[in-house]
Amino acid sequence: MPGLEEGQLAEIVLGCCGLCDAPKHRRQTLVFFLKNDLGYTQSALDPCTFLLHGPQSLHGMIAVEIDDLLMFGDEVHEEKVEALQQRFSFGKLQSLDEKGVNFNGRRLRKIGSTIEVDMKAFVEERLANMRLAELGRQRRTARRSSSGVVVFFNDERHEDRRRHRAEQNSGKAERHLQSLR
């Protein structure tokens, strides 16, 4: 690092790529820029969604999912996106067409004036063929795990009952003593 000598320690006071809090700082910077510099409002329903309202209509929308953005809108929105691209670097920008784009485990495709959403790639990436022998072993493991959970909760339930009875009995004894006074 320029200006530091070998072996010298430095305190990092801002977000730095590679540190565990870097995504948090990037998101805070992005949210601040979207709201204060570009005029988007953060949705109360979904805080990951930012809307660009005009006097008569909605100009655009940006959905933020970690480091992916899904953006659509009119020419006013497109101007804002250009400013966003000047401020932040993006790996790749893809237009929505018949081929489709992936966003947050979903594939979005524009066919004519219709937008289709499916999770085909998400499902195919996570499903795998499994031999029946493996399935049997997994079921046994799951049964054992489930049995342990049931025993644990049963013990806890009995402990709760014992505690409840003890509290009731101590209350009765206390009331009985008060009645004798």
Which pLDDT score, from 0 to 100, does residue 79 have? 96
Q: What is the mean pLDDT of the chain?
A: 78
Residue 90 phi, psi dihedral angles, 5° rounding = -120, 140
**Residue tagged 């932040």 (tokens):** 88
Average the pLDDT over 31-47 and give the result.
95
* pLDDT score at 10: 81
* Mean pLDDT of the region 153-158: 48
Both tokens assigned to 87:
């401020």
CA pseudo-torsion sign 83, 86, 89, 95: positive
Residue spans of the domains in the chain: they are 11-93, 95-127, 130-181
Among the residue ranges 4-18, 54-68, 77-91, the one predicted with the least confidence is 4-18
* Residue for token pair 């790529």: 17
User: How high is the pLDDT of residue 3?
Assistant: 84
In the structure, what pLDDT confidence band is assigned to residue 66 with cuts at 50, 70 and 90?
Answer: confident
Least confident of 33-37, 88-92, 115-119: 88-92
Q: What is the pLDDT of residue 174?
A: 61
Residue among 110, 47, 29, 38 at smallest CA distance from 78: 38
The pLDDT tens digits for 101-137 are: 888 888 889 899 898 988 887 787 777 766 666 556 6
Give the model's confidence band at 156: pLDDT under 50 very low, under 70 low, under 90 confident, else very high.
very low
Closest CA to 29 of 64, 73, 58: 64
More reliable by pLDDT, 166 or 93? 93
Calpha distance 61→74 (Å, rounded)? 10
Token readout for 105 is: 């485990």
- DSSP code string of 6-21: TT------S--TTSTT
Q: Give yes or no for a contact between 119 and 107, defined as CB atoms under 8 angstroms apart.
A: yes
138-155 confidence digits (pLDDT tens): 666 665 555 554 444 444
